[in-house]
Structure 1
Amino acid sequence: MGAGSSLSYRTALIVIVFLALAVYNAVEIVCRIFTRFQVYHGVYFYSMLAASIGIIIHAFGYFLRNYDVSHSAPLEITMACGGGVLMITGQSIKDRWLLVMILPDCVVVQGGATTLFAGSNSTNPEPFLKIYAAWEIFQVTWFFVQECLISGLYVYRAVTLIRTSGVFRGDDAKRVFNHLILVNLLVIALDVTVLALQYAGLYTIQTSWKTLAYSIKLKFEFDILNRLVDLTKAGFNNRPSGSRFMSEMM
């Protein structure tokens, strides 16, 4: 965790593969965002774009740090931590009311991690390293709980829509919502792997794998969002209420 950390050859290979795949996924998502969205505004557009860009910045921040490309600690800290804020917070915001929960998390949890990360890479890292090690465990655990809450919310809404709305009762709709449930279960499974690596003490691999895991989760969520949008378009058949719904989504 400190400024003088170095990677073994095997670990360096694993980390660079994770970071490279994460950047590839994020670049693909950015391209798909601008080809898929009809109007470039709205919560979904900005959250998806912020999360994608955050993944790229976060990956390059850890690339600079892990492979001794740059000797600028402020640059590494800004990219790794700033990218992490965009990556995690951007991917979590899918509803406006979720801001009430997510923004305080961003300020307190990620703000604390950023401060401790910077301190552990300063000229006097010892006072920060032990606290940062404990805080990183707390941070990963907290965001795991947050992702479980958000995924649970989406599954609950999916079940409610199937039961209460005639628009979403066809076979196509059921397949889409089954896919939605599966995607959210996979999201939780990916978070479990990040949590496991952190509790196993594999900090360097955890940070690179987390970047890749968030890019995979974002691809899953973007795909299911597209299917939901297509289903909504077909179901509402260009009704005014459907048009308003679509303008908020896209």
Structure 2
Amino acid sequence: MKVLVPVKRVIDYNVKVRVKADGSGVDLANVKMSMNPFDEIAVEEAIRLKEKGAVSEIVVVSVGVKQAQETLRTALAMGADRAILVVAADDVHTDIEPLAVAKILAKVAEEEQPGMIIAGKQAIDNDMNATGQMLSALLGWSQATFASDVTVEGESLKVTREVDGGLQTISVKLPAVVTADLRLNEPRYASLPNIMKAKKKQLDEKTAADYGVDVTPRLTVVKTSEPAGRAAGITVGSVDELVGKLKDAGVL
């Protein structure tokens, strides 16, 4: 079974994000960029399924700017077999919206005919949490979101999902779209030999126009601002005073 794994280039999760002075967006100048952490988990899960013999080929795909080649090379170094870069923007500040990404991924899926698509549940830059669900609807495939455990059982998947009330285990028919949650696995580090091998692996470059998808934004960012600073704490003199203040605040 072939697996398709979408990955996104985002600001590294260790970097403190800076907002532009005019409030028009986030400053990306000289900022370290990395693979979206949830997508990294999705790549790791695909590799683990391949190691178990349930998957024969892993294809990673990224939709965005040319610089996303670095992200795809990282996925190839982890263990993916080949990559597809769909160039849909020239400016690194341009964020391709979930619906446009889902439409492009649907076209890629029609070409590649994977048995499963594993994606991160959301990207940490916009937190949309929508692409996987939209992709499932466009393809008419089963979906299993927020997965914390995935097992291939013949022509179906057994997936444990993280929901508000705890854990939910479902069975979905293949082909299916799965979105990875934080506790699905812990991604591996790419070894130096694999990083060198990744440079020779196949990476095809296409454009959104090749798939006939319009990526014109439908949303307008009105304003971007940093969270308000936290107020300074206070020192209490006793446990009774602490309990009293917690009661006054409605915590107890």
- TM-score bracket for this pair, using the shorter chain length: under 0.3
Q: TM-score, normalised by structure 2?
A: 0.27
Greater RCO structure (CA 8 Å; 6+ sep): 1
Question: Would you tell me which structure has more helix in proportion to its own residues?
Answer: 1
TM-score normalised by L of structure 1: 0.27
**Higher gyration radius (CA):** 2
